[in-house]
Amino acid sequence: MSEQGLISAIEELAATPVVTGFPCSVGEFLKQISDKERDAFNAILDNQKVGTIRIYDMLQKNDYTVAKAALYKHRRKQCRCFQ
């Protein structure tokens, strides 16, 4: 393989995003709700006066399945949604 061929292959590999593991359950939840609900939910996620446990409890009471750890990571923008 020529030097240029190797460089092209490396650039192609670098441009390909690595996706492993499960998707963020918060991101999956956001895909399933209406735009109006999404806007309201995102506003709550961004409101640091509302605790993550309160959000988690509200979702559980309304039969939505979102992992508690995913809520924490999503709020800190450290989940796969923000990669």
pLDDT band at 69 (very low <50, low <70, confident <90, very high): very high
Predicted model pTM: 0.72
pLDDT of residue 27: 94
pLDDT of residue 14: 82
Residues 58-76, mean pLDDT to the nearest whole number: 95
Task: For 41-62, write each residue's pLDDT tens digit.
Answer: 999 999 999 999 999 999 999 9
User: Mind spelling out the 3-state secondary structure of the chain?
Assistant: CCHHHHHHHHHHHHHCCCCCCCCCHHHHHHHHCCHHHHHHHHHHHHCCCCCHHHHHHHHHHCCCCCCHHHHHHHHCCCCHHHC
